[in-house]
Amino acid sequence: MFFGRPWNVWVSEYELSHRDPRNRLCHTLGIPMIVVALALFVASLWIAGLWLWALGLFILGWILQFVGHVYEGKPPEFFRDWRFLFVGLRWWVAKMRGQV
């Protein structure tokens, strides 16, 4: 459950805005880049210079997200509801498991 709705409902709604294969590819690559970047930002507190890699991955990951939505012809779901920022990762996990 996430904010009173089952995860599969959130992911199904997210999926509706991610039909174009080019958008799906951009998200398949961009989402893990953003997640790894966030982890690297934390690690950069102890490892000098790592923040540059984190920043690069973070920016590239977000560029891929927005490029994908240009192909899709729809704005990102999080423009409508900020909670979709968290649903994207859940969608990616489901995609990697072959569930979407």
In the block, residue with structure tokens 């999080």: 78
Residue 1 has pLDDT above 90, yes or no: no
- Higher-pLDDT residue of 6 and 57 is 57
In this prediction, residue 36 has a pLDDT band, given cuts at 50, 70 and 90, of: very high
With a cut of 90, say whether residue 99 has pLDDT above it. Answer: no
pTM over 0.85: yes
> Where exactly are the structural domains of the chain?
7-96
Paired with 5 in beta bridges are 2
Q: Which two tokens stand for residue 95?
A: 């995609």
Radius of gyration, alpha carbons of the chain:
14
Residue with tokens 């779901």: 77
